[in-house]
Structure 1
Amino acid sequence: MRMIFAIVALLSVSLSSLSFAAPVSAATPGVTELKWYGQSAFRIITPGGKILLIDPWITNPANPNGKMDLENLGKVDLILLTHGHGDHIGNSVEIAKKSGAGLVATFDLMKAMVSYAGFPEKQADRAMAGSFGGEITLLNGEVTVRFTPAVHGGSMDTDKGPVYAGHPGGFLISIKNGPRIYHTGDTDLFSDMSLLAGSVDLMMVCIGDKFTMGPRLAAQSVKLVRPKMVIPMHFGTFPALTGTPEQFRVELDKLDLGNVMRQMKVGETLVWK
């Protein structure tokens, strides 16, 4: 299937290296929208109009419109969480209470979210839980989610200290009539990423260094996965996250991976069809 992409800025932004298209209907057959809120937070709108949020820390320091974005979210069908750290749980509980969204997470993380973070129990159905290697089909077949591992920490902070919240992970999300999206979560490079080669259209990869892969190892992960497109994430939110997209692009070039990187700006939407 031929893949065409365009980056749509919600504000008036001119980027000579990207092509832009007018906003399209979320229910347009074959069209998937992906919005980046900064850090690891993304919104996916499927061709059927379903709304997914991944690690929705909408009000992170990198998002100047975070408060407004949170207020204007409206409909959300599913919230997908990679692990229990605060910069990934983010605003998920508030969003769930307001929207009625269901939680997609590993079984241990789902239990921790209900027990310690206040996620509505009725929206944390075990049918939406899984574990690494497992796959679930959701939203009447609109979305399939495979749970993928990650090499990172998985505790959750509470007012009584950190608690166990399961092992960290990522997701391979297959959209009906749309792309296959790999969100790495927070991770180091690991060789089993290569098992996803040939099955990923769009890869969101952490590049910030210190707590995750930096640009060099992130480029190595792209070499293993071989996605059609890669979007850097989890950088620049805090001074400690020193990896940059420019460094990432240099490392990709060293590996002769071509023009696979697409740098998004916070608040922009990528349209895939």
Structure 2
Amino acid sequence: MVEVRYLGHSAVWLSDGKTKVVIDPFLSGNPLAPVGVGEVQADLILVTHAHGDHFGDAVALSKKGGTVVSTFEIATYAEKHGAKAVPMNIGGTYRFPGGWLKWFPAWHSSSFPDGTYGGMPMGVVVELGGKRIYHAGDTALFSDMRLIGELDLDLAFLPIGDHFTMGPEDALKALELLRPKRVVPIHYNTFPPIRQDGDAFAERAKEKGVEGHALRPGGVLVLD
């Protein structure tokens, strides 16, 4: 069993009751975040790319006891700011008690707010509690998502905001390639340029044979 909690924008929290994982922890400054840094505990802090709305509170969460796992560039940047970190890159696998994670490409850009290069943007598959969960990060649609789909995904987090990432139409095409059992839309409605109807996307996902869940910030989905 895995508990999935949506924290707004692209931030999600996962737990199998033993290991707690947070991905793209943009909480401070996120108008949709239902919790603050003080209310989130994470053993692993995964960052798909360096933009401020994804790197977010990674360092602050690490100082509470978590480990940042990301690109070499992001991990070393986090370490310089006081975080514990594991540097990785696309294609690499990191194993932890009870599971593993593997990084995949994402089509986007990646730099910190101060202009420091953040390495290649990435998506990630996490196996936790016997479930495989894909977080696409910020990305355009790309055909190699079909290879990620071969991992038999239980859940996919896909951006639908358009403007900076895939929009709903391309995200629906991504479902055909990824073939997950469930999908949760992310990276929408936080700011005016990325206004979208998450409920409409979830309904249309059913036409692709995928169970759609447009979670509200703070909403929980249990994978059992």
Task: Give the superposed CA RMSD.
Answer: 1.6
Distance 1:195 1:210, change over 3 A: same
Report the equivalent of 2:7: 37
**Secondary structure of the equivalent of 2:158?**
strand
Pick the aligned partner of 1:167 from 120, 145, 148.
120
Report the equivalent of 2:185: 232
Matched ranges for 1:15-34 at <5 A: 31-34=1-4
Identity, in percent, stands at: 35
Report the equivalent of 1:76: 42
Check whether the contact 1:112–1:164 (CA below 8 A) recurs between aligned residues: no
Aligned counterparts of 1:134 and 1:217: Cα–Cα separation in 2: 27
Larger Rg: 1
**Residue 95 of structure 1: how far off its partner (Å):** 1.5
The answer to whether residue 197 in structure 2 is matched with residue 244 in structure 1 is: yes
**TM-score, length-normalised on structure 2?**
0.93
Distance 1:147 1:259, change over 3 A: closer
**Secondary structure of the equivalent of 2:127?**
strand
**Residue 259 of structure 1: how far off its partner (Å):** 4.7
Aligned counterparts of 2:38 and 2:73: Cα–Cα separation in 1: 29
- Counterpart amino acid of residue 265 in structure 1: R
Aligned counterparts of 1:203 and 1:96: Cα–Cα separation in 2: 25
**Residue 252 of structure 1: how far off its partner (Å):** 3.5
**Count of aligned residue pairs for this structure pair:** 222
**Secondary structure of the equivalent of 2:145?**
helix
- Counterpart amino acid of residue 4 in structure 2: L
**Residue 100 of structure 1: how far off its partner (Å):** 1.5
**Residue 250 of structure 1: how far off its partner (Å):** 5.9
**Secondary structure of the equivalent of 2:113?**
strand
Report the equivalent of 2:69: 104
**Residue 72 of structure 1: how far off its partner (Å):** 2.1
Q: Which 10-residue stretch deviates more, 223-232 or 261-270?
A: 261-270
Structure 2 regions of 5+ residues with no counterpart? Answer: none
Aligned counterparts of 1:111 and 1:72: Cα–Cα separation in 2: 26
Q: CA deviation digits over 1:72-106, x for unaligned, max 9? A: 22x42110000000000111111211x22111101
Distance 1:209 1:119, change over 3 A: farther
4+ aligned runs moved over 6 Å, structure 1? none
**Residue 242 of structure 1: how far off its partner (Å):** 2.2
